[in-house]
Amino acid sequence: MANYSSNTLVFQVITLVCLLFPAANCVQFTYPAVFNFGDSNSDTGELVAALGDILDSPNGQNYFKAPSGRFSDGRLILDFLMDAMDLPFLNAYLDSIGIPSFRKGCNFAAAGSTIQPASAQAVSPFSFGVQVAQFVRFKARVLELQAKGKRLDKYLPAQDYFQKGLYMFDIGQNDLAGAFYSKTYDQVLASIPTILIEFETGIKTLYDQGARYFWIHNTGPLGCLAQNVAKFGTDPASLDEQGCVSKHNQAAKVFNLQLHALSKKLQGQYTDSNFTYVDIYTIKYNLISNYSKLGFEQPIMACCGVGGPPLNYDSRIACGKTKEINGATVTAKACNDSSEYINWDGIHYSEAANQYVSSQILTGKYSDPPFSDKMPFLLNLKF
């Protein structure tokens, strides 16, 4: 698959936005910092640092050339958006090695995280409420250190960054995906309002802490992940025309409708703030539906896994791991060219897919409100 250069992409995005929205300020629009909350879709090393887990090669094989704490072969959507805003990649809150700088923001997202409080069996203890509490402590500690002098200023966000910064959210997928293991479809749908009450509570806490710019990703088509197709898609009647599990995707759509309504409610409630809702579901489902036209070879099958077609996925063995299965030693290895695959490891997207999704986000047409003179996501030319 041909990859765009970041320079070309940025130029095309600015040109497109300026043509579509001539009222927009097409000179410059930047946030001084980004504070991100989420799960593995935007985890840049939190879970690995927190639990001492090892993400083995070939994770990170593209761009980083080594495992980077990201559940992908390379960059995530968050990384591409940070690059588009001319900001450095975000350091994970708990990653303390190498004198990490938090000057331009901090990433609290952790793989496996849910909006609802974590159960004892959860992959991640860092549910949304915990991530918000971590932010509250982070802010308090920053202000405390700054009051003692300027020695650490180059590592810490300026005080006004907490109000001027962008607060990004991509979480909720694990609440839905996990629920299907123990609940019926109707029970999963019935749990959505409770999930979103928890999300609203976290947003209100952040608002009280000074947050004013909110950027909310909805959840993607989880029925198209090889992990869910392997577990819940054994009956062909349960699949849609793209080979995705219908009920998982339908639950995601219901969740997204209610999340969108909540976003509009919060915008009405907090009139001094900006809430932007981003339709990730539509972008990702369009990608899967039109994969061949967009230069991909495989829409659902994992690049890094075991078992071969049609899914190349086995829940017992993660990408890069070696295990004994049925008396044979098996290693989950990467395919020859991950840019031909939308899915990296059966659960997470490849860098090539993440780059495509990011390019679509940056057109502004999948956002509510669309990018305008009030809230443009406009970028600096990088030549």
Residue positions annotated with a catalytic role: 40, 345, 348
Q: In terms of Cα–Cα distance, which of 286, 318, 314, 288 is closest to 300?
A: 288
Nearest in space to 70 (alpha carbons), one of 359, 357, 313, 347: 347
Report how far residue 131's alpha carbon sits from residue 146's, in angstroms, rounded to the nearest whole number.
22
For residue 256, what are its two tokens? 């997204």
Nearest to 104 by CA among 164, 62, 147: 164
- Rounded to whole angstroms, how far apart are CA atoms 350 and 345? 8
Q: Helix, strand or coil for residue 217?
A: strand
Query: Which residues touch 27 (CB under 8 Å, ≥6 apart)?
Result: 378
Structure tokens at 122: 């959860």
Q: Check: CB of residue 229 under 8 Å from CB of residue 245.
A: yes
Other C-beta atoms closer than 10 Å to the C-beta of 314 total 19
Q: What is the CA radius of gyration of the chain?
A: 20
Alpha carbons 251 and 255: distance in angstroms, whole number: 6
Helix residue ranges per DSSP H, 209-239 = 226-232
**CB atoms inside a 10 Å sphere around CB 75:** 25
